[in-house]
Amino acid sequence: MITYDKLFIGGQWVAPSSTAVHELTSASTEEPIGSVPQARQADIDRAVAAARQAFDDPSGWAHWEPARRTDAIEQLAHQLEIRADEMARRVSSQNGMPISIATQLEGGWPLIVLRYYANLLREASFESEQQHLMGGTTIVRREPIGVVAGIAPWNYPQTLASFKHAPALAAGCSIVLKPAPETLLDSFLFAEAVAATDIPPGVINIVPGGRDAGAYLVGHAGVDKVAFTGSTAAGRQIAETCGRLLRPVTFELGGKSAAIILDDADLDLATVGERLFESLLVNNGQTCYLSTRILAPKNRYDEVIDTLAAFVTSLPVGDALDPSTMIGPMVSCAHRERVERFIEKGKGDGARVVVGGTRSSRSRGWFVEPTLFADVDNASTIAQQEIFGPVLSVIRYRDADEAVRIANDSAYGLGGTVWTADPERGKEVARRIRTGTIGINRYMPDPGAPYGGVKDSGIGRELGPDSLNAYLTYKSIYA
């Protein structure tokens, strides 16, 4: 059991305002693995006040020379690197992410993102001078936007938190992070890493809580910007609040991406199996950008079904902490039941179960057998709604034009893939898809390029230099 009895606010471990706690449970065994305090409104008030004080300090973080901030951000990356194995283990235990994946992503990606923004900051210019078109000169300054509310989900808790805190820190902002209640032990390990750096007290604060805590933080008068990753439904609620408050937001929301398998695609699993896994089922299907709608040409439809059936059944299902596991459990009992309702809906709507379709026979843990549906209508529930589990739907198409039409026939637009032996042909098809990101014969986000969605998948972008700009505000000085 890992137990914390204090909150990380203002650079210190402080007593919470109540005795309420979050109990953390292993997704693989259903056994208790830890507990942390719940942050109440009074704790959030303290965290926002600490962030505001740190930001307003005339000699504080926002006013440090970029090189000095760079050094502190690199210190944080180093402290997280020291804790990377333990971070991966904590995340894997809580949300069911296979440890082999957690080691690469939750242990590794935050380091990459922090170091990217440290390097970007090292070369950044925050003030320029230009000719005033009406005479004289204009100085254009980019200044930190202020106090940021960063809300991260449970599926990639540290990676997606880094998408927010890394550019915010580089910009000179202070931040209040609210992690998801399903994954909190990792956020306290992150706090320990922060405490071991030169980052000033109050620049990073952590308030563990549920939806009520998130809603209170989003609407707090001391917050200047919100960065949120989560469901589209929650994003709409946050957008209503921020719209009323005229508060800038960055949203990365849901997805129902398409994998377009062109008629010349290489389907040899020895060649493409690993890339298929990363694109279709990584993290047990609990990933927003996955290409869970698979569009197959009619002249290769049966071949695609057979290949995917062999692929899905080849993936070892087991305890998330077992290094051989490729498919672990769902994050919670409630989420497993949600995934199962979608599977039953798919059966009821006439789709054909090729593989899976049932709960795992394991006596403990929130497992769902990886499921492959064939003969799916793109208008059906399982093709239109985000399931967020190991469920794939195969949809037949006649030609590339119809494949593009089907891919775009979705309320979402976050990810996607095109599979082809001709990368140039794949790029041409990719350009026609209404989505924020898309891969050719693979899918792997680039920390140096914008990441985000269109339509119901979000507003704004994370990663890349554009994300740094999202935490800056512009000031023109006419001279």
246 has a pLDDT exceeding 90: yes
214 has a pLDDT exceeding 90: yes
pLDDT, mean of residues 144-152: 98
Catalytic, out of 74, 252, 369, 462:
252
Distance CA 335, CA 23 (A): 17
Whether 333 is a known active-site residue: answer: no
What is the pLDDT confidence band of residue 361, given thresholds at 50, 70 and 90? Answer: confident
pLDDT, mean of residues 429-457: 98
What pLDDT was estimated at residue 15?
Answer: 98
Domains parsed from the chain with CATH numbers: 2-253+455-478 (3.40.605.10), 258-440 (3.40.309.10)
Whether 31 is a known active-site residue: answer: no
What is the pLDDT confidence band of residue 362, given thresholds at 50, 70 and 90? Answer: confident
pLDDT, mean of residues 434-441: 98
Tens digit of each residue's pLDDT (9 = 90 or more) over 151-190: 999 999 999 999 999 999 999 999 999 999 999 999 999 9
What percentage of the chain has pLDDT greater than the value 90? 99
pLDDT, mean of residues 81-107: 98
What pLDDT was estimated at residue 363?
Answer: 82
What pLDDT was estimated at residue 360?
Answer: 83
What is the pLDDT confidence band of residue 140, given thresholds at 50, 70 and 90? Answer: very high
Is 381:359 a contact under the CB 8 Å cutoff? no
pLDDT, mean of residues 119-131: 95
56 has a pLDDT exceeding 90: yes
Distance CA 139, CA 414 (A): 37
Q: What is the mean pLDDT of the chain?
A: 97
Closest to 94 in 3D by CA, of 352, 348, 258, 284: 284
Cα angle value 204/250/89 (rounded, 5°): 55
280 has a pLDDT exceeding 90: yes
What is the pLDDT confidence band of residue 130, given thresholds at 50, 70 and 90? Answer: very high
What pLDDT was estimated at residue 250?
Answer: 98
What is the pLDDT confidence band of residue 23, given thresholds at 50, 70 and 90? Answer: very high
Tens digit of each residue's pLDDT (9 = 90 or more) over 34-51: 999 999 999 999 999 999
**HEC string of the chain?**
CEECCCEEECCEEECCCCCCEEEEECCCCCCEEEEEECCCHHHHHHHHHHHHHHHHCCCCHHHCCHHHHHHHHHHHHHHHHHCHHHHHHHHHHHHCCCHHHHHHCCCCHHHHHHHHHHHHHHHCCCEEEEECCCCCEEEEEEEECCEEEEECCCCCHHHHHHHHHHHHHHHCCEEEEECCCCCCHHHHHHHHHHHCCCCCCCCEEECCCCHHHHHHHHCCCCCCEEEEECCHHHHHHHHHHHHHHCCCEEEECCCCCEEEECCCCCCCHHHHHHHHHHHHCHHHHCCCCCCCEEEEEHHHHHHHHHHHHHHHHCCCECCCCCCCCCECCCCCHHHHHHHHHHHHHHHHCCCEEEECCCECCCCCCCCECCEEEECCCCCCHHHHCCCCCCEEEEEEECCHHHHHHHHHCCCCCCCCEEECCCHHHHHHHHCCCCCCCCEECCCCCCCCCCECCCHHHEECCECHHHHHHHCEEEEEEEC
327 has a pLDDT exceeding 90: yes
Catalytic, out of 106, 288, 340, 462:
288
pTM of the shown model: 0.97
Distance CA 298, CA 372 (A): 17
pLDDT, mean of residues 120-141: 95
